[in-house]
């Protein structure tokens, strides 16, 4: 009798401990503990309660396993959510675009410069007949450059393509003859005085600076008489060559800064 009493007390203590440990897990655990408690009491007086004891333990372990799986699933969801926020950033905002018209006499090198700016192969470039449009990408903006052909049969139609322009790129051949240089000066002056272009910023590129016969930028500025003719306008005069595209990009960056400015600034070189 004393042995059975000790066994019953031991079973009661184990049952009480298990009940205190798993009470917070909800109704299913309480049911499992109750079955386990009954089974332990039966097993204390007889071995016939072993099957009931096994059922209680199985139910208790099953409900605990469900909670563990649920916790793992929640952890996975939280991990993937944090990973998505860290790695999958929103796409960058679209870059602003400016419409620019590019003019100059035939052979000035307009097409070659624009092709190199777009990382296109410029070998075997043919003169532009009519016009072409290139989207020239820069770090913060995109320039939609409308290049107009410089042949005599096309120049008279230039003004038809000025509408909507926000800036002007004028390309001239710095190694050309005095006669063609005078013609370039006349076309530049005409563009600067045109009602649709007179308030726009100008980028004037003295191209082919790598030619032995090329005039310097200061000589071209004097020859074009830019100081008196372009007074009060926004303009940039810079040398250019396809062998130094870094300098060409810097000149276009200066034009972009003029496009972004709201106030009219003094003329600059």
Residue range 101-146, pLDDT digits in tens: 999 999 899 999 999 999 887 666 667 777 889 999 998 899 999 9
Which uninterrupted H or E stretch holds 205? Answer: strand 202-207
Terminus-to-terminus CA distance in the chain, angstroms? 113
Other Cβ atoms closer than 10 A to 9: 11
Residue range 2-21, pLDDT digits in tens: 444 444 444 444 444 444 44
What's residue 227's pLDDT?
A: 81
What's residue 21's pLDDT?
A: 41
Residue range 31-55, pLDDT digits in tens: 444 544 554 444 444 444 455 545 5
What's residue 72's pLDDT?
A: 73
Residue range 136-175, pLDDT digits in tens: 999 889 999 999 998 888 998 999 999 999 999 999 999 9
pTM of the model: 0.65
Beta bridge partners of 238: 205
* Cα 221 to Cα 258: distance, rounded to the nearest angstrom: 20
- Tokens standing for residue 184: 């370039």
């Amino acid at each position: 009798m004393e042995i059975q009493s000790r066994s019953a007390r031991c079973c009661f203590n184990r049952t009480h401990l298990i009940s205190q440990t798993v009470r917070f897990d909800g109704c299913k655990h309480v049911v499992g503990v109750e079955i386990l408690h009954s089974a332990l009491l039966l097993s204390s007086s007889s071995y016939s309660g072993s099957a009931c004891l096994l059922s209680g333990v199985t139910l208790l372990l099953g409900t605990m396993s469900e909670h563990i799986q649920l916790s793992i699933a929640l952890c996975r969801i939280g991990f993937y959510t944090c990973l998505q926020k860290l790695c999958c950033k929103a796409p960058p905002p679209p870059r602003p675009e400016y419409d620019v018209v590019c003019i100059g006499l035939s052979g000035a090198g307009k097409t070659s410069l624009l092709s190199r700016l777009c990382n296109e192969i410029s070998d075997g470039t043919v003169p532009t007949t009519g016009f072409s449009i290139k989207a020239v990408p820069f770090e913060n903006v995109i320039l939609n450059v409308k290049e107009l052909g410089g042949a005599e049969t096309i120049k008279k139609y230039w003004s038809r393509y000025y509408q909507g322009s926000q800036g002007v790129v004028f390309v001239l051949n710095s190694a050309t003859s005095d006669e063609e240089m005078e013609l370039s000066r006349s076309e530049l002056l005409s563009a600067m005085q045109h009602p649709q272009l007179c308030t726009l910023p100008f980028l004037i590129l003295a191209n082919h600076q790598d030619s032995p016969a090329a005039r310097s930028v200061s000589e071209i500025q004097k020859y074009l008489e830019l100081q008196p003719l372009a007074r009060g306008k926004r303009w940039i005069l810079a040398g250019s060559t396809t062998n130094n595209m870094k300098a060409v990009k810097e000149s276009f960056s200066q034009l972009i800064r003029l496009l972004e400015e709201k106030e009219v600034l003094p003329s600059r070189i």
